[in-house]
Chains A and B, each alone.
Chain A
């Protein structure tokens, strides 16, 4: 199995506090994996460590065959072109229009002329389900859901092999959230993308996720298909999955 991500014995400290105490897991190519856990368990911190924004105190992270924290700056830059990251509120460049935002990775990383980049950026908009006139707007003029889709389009610009999503459905209405989940699943299936989602959203978990990794008290307490994780003995996991009516759970883990 081709492992695109290997996290090995990560320890993270903020001052005297130990956030992660030996986190290890792997993600295979083509999987849609969710990282879940209570608030404050360091999920977003772990995500930032995986993509090279925050250094862990101990441990190793191999992303697409590169050791993230032992790579040279040139190797890290080459690696950055192979994955896409969707930040929690999109993190679009507020002074640029959406179309200009999507064009940024093309302009910075390729030598393509603008007459090829413009239609390509327009296509990325269509790929994530945004209407064509969204390209002319600035991020402040878009709703939350549209901002996340625009940010997704930017993350997909350089045809990444793995996509990282940080709480993609937070702040979205239920219809918008489910639509976003379906979009992610469609892209994963059609493009062979590996997707790594940090999420709180139970509905996301129960609909489009292949495998779930559960963080609690600085350790991984469960790692497997959603149906199996749901049956785990741990009290937090029990409580997390029961925060939903039995009716919804009956369609779970498919």
Chain B
């Protein structure tokens, strides 16, 4: 690779063989093994060089620089014309000073402070978004013509209608599981019939609203974020603004209204499916005929339970929609961002739904509902 000779007081470096990227490790080693201290002049001899590329040329010059050589101390001889041209280009480009490495290490206090400020700013901008959406909704009341019915109905189809099979299936199965669980306990006391009370209450008040909201958050929340996020990356939202339309009116409001109408309806579907599941288990395992089940249900399930479940739904829906649309608007211009934000939407929505459910539970208990 490299041979060092002293000729006429100057250090001559004979480069030989294949000086290419593939051999860079060997080249670096040969350079490091050289003892060039005390030499004032360097002559690079390329007569034995078979091949040369920019990586090898750069490595050579860099090593010479690190030894303290200046331009005046280095000269070349006997290089083939194409190798000489390459060396000239490499040398020229290396004249740029290297970038100063910035220290990225922040202390603990700095990190905590920076995070706190970041979170505060995020909260402020989330708040501003919610406010802007609310303003747009109120703006629709005196000007109902601005409402985009077609978009809303289209969103309703994907959020509501397309979700019916999944919500029905999931709540049906939960109804089955719950009835089975309760039934095992009730059998011990010969109180089979109380399964009807339990299933009716649990499904209508808690299980159906919660499950429907989780399914919608996963399906539609993620979809909203991905759709709006991709539009943001492709500058479609800017295009909407430029045409004099409000992106909130065009994108967010239809989704918000659609989901707030769809979720209560899906909760109702869930109620029916969940109770049907309970009825199935009651008939097969607990000797309660369907007609008896329905008679008892009619007696013990207050309308209030059903309405509580249906009433929670629009609140869940509003949270899901606002979170999903907001995360969509926040998508950045890199490939990871859509995925990261979509995941965040689903997680945030589910957490908020459960928190709200807990708040409702306590509130209703206090209010005696």
**Residues of chain A at the chain B interface (Cβ within 8 Å):** 93-95, 110-112, 116, 119-120, 122-123, 126-127, 131-133, 135-136, 138-140, 156, 158-159, 186-187, 189-192
CB <8 Å contact, B86 and A191: yes
Contact residues in B for A136 (Cβ distance below 8 Å) = 99, 102
Contact residues in A for B82 (Cβ distance below 8 Å) = 192
CB <8 Å contact, B88 and A111: no
CB <8 Å contact, A93 and B335: yes
Residue of B nearest to A110 (CB): B21
Q: Provide the bound-state CA to CA distance between A132 and B86, in Å.
A: 21
Contact residues in A for B332 (Cβ distance below 8 Å) = 140
Contact residues in B for A111 (Cβ distance below 8 Å) = 25
Residue of A nearest to B20 (CB): A159
Describe A's contact surface by its main secondary structure. helix
Q: Provide the bound-state CA to CA distance between A110 and B56, in Å.
A: 14
Q: Any chain A CB within 8 A of the CB of B97?
A: yes
Contact residues in A for B54 (Cβ distance below 8 Å) = 123, 127, 156, 159, 191
Q: Any chain A CB within 8 A of the CB of B295?
A: no
Q: Shortest beta-carbon distance, A80 to chain B, in Å?
A: 15
The verdict on A191 contacting B335 (CB below 8 Å), with A112-B25, A132-B97 known, is no
CB <8 Å contact, B334 and A122: no
Residue of B nearest to A93 (CB): B335
Q: Provide the bound-state CA to CA distance between A190 and B86, in Å.
A: 5
Residue of A nearest to B95 (CB): A126
**Residues of chain B at the chain A interface (Cβ within 8 Å):** 20-22, 24-25, 28, 53-55, 58-59, 62, 82, 85-86, 88-90, 93-94, 96-99, 102, 332-336
Contact residues in B for A127 (Cβ distance below 8 Å) = 54, 89-90, 93
CB <8 Å contact, B21 and A159: yes
Contact residues in B for A139 (Cβ distance below 8 Å) = 334
Q: Shortest beta-carbon distance, B80 to chain A, in Å?
A: 10
Q: Which of A95, A111, A138 has the most CB of B within 10 A?
A: A95
Contact residues in B for A133 (Cβ distance below 8 Å) = 99
CB <8 Å contact, A120 and B99: no
Q: Provide the bound-state CA to CA distance between A136 and B102, in Å.
A: 10
CB pairs A–B below 8 angstroms (21 shown): A110-B21, A110-B24, A116-B59, A119-B62, A120-B55, A123-B58, A126-B96, A127-B54, A127-B90, A132-B99, A136-B99, A139-B334, A159-B20, A159-B21, A186-B89, A187-B89, A190-B86, A191-B53, A191-B54, A191-B89, A192-B82
Q: Shortest beta-carbon distance, A125 to chain B, in Å?
A: 9
The verdict on A159 contacting B53 (CB below 8 Å), with A120-B58, A140-B332, A190-B85 known, is yes
Contact residues in A for B96 (Cβ distance below 8 Å) = 126, 131-132
Q: Which of B20, B82, B96 has the most CB of A within 10 A?
A: B96
Contact residues in A for B62 (Cβ distance below 8 Å) = 119
Q: Provide the bound-state CA to CA distance between A111 and B28, in Å.
A: 13
CB <8 Å contact, A140 and B334: yes
CB <8 Å contact, A123 and B334: no
Contact residues in A for B28 (Cβ distance below 8 Å) = 116
Choose from B21, B25, B85, B99 the contact partner of A122 (Cβ within 8 Å).
Answer: B99
Contact residues in B for A120 (Cβ distance below 8 Å) = 55, 58-59
Q: Provide the bound-state CA to CA distance between A186 and B86, in Å.
A: 10
5 interchain residue pairs of minimum CB distance: A132-B99, A94-B334, A190-B89, A159-B53, A140-B333
CB <8 Å contact, A95 and B335: yes
CB <8 Å contact, B24 and A123: no
Residue of B nearest to A158 (CB): B21
Residue of A nearest to B21 (CB): A159
The verdict on A95 contacting B334 (CB below 8 Å), with A126-B93, A159-B20, A190-B85 known, is yes
The verdict on A189 contacting B85 (CB below 8 Å), with A120-B58, A140-B334, A159-B20 known, is yes
CB <8 Å contact, A95 and B336: yes
Contact residues in A for B98 (Cβ distance below 8 Å) = 119, 122, 132
Residue of B nearest to A115 (CB): B28
Q: Shortest beta-carbon distance, A121 to chain B, in Å?
A: 10
Choose from B21, B94, B333 the contact partner of A94 (Cβ within 8 Å).
Answer: B333
Q: Shortest beta-carbon distance, B88 to chain A, in Å?
A: 7
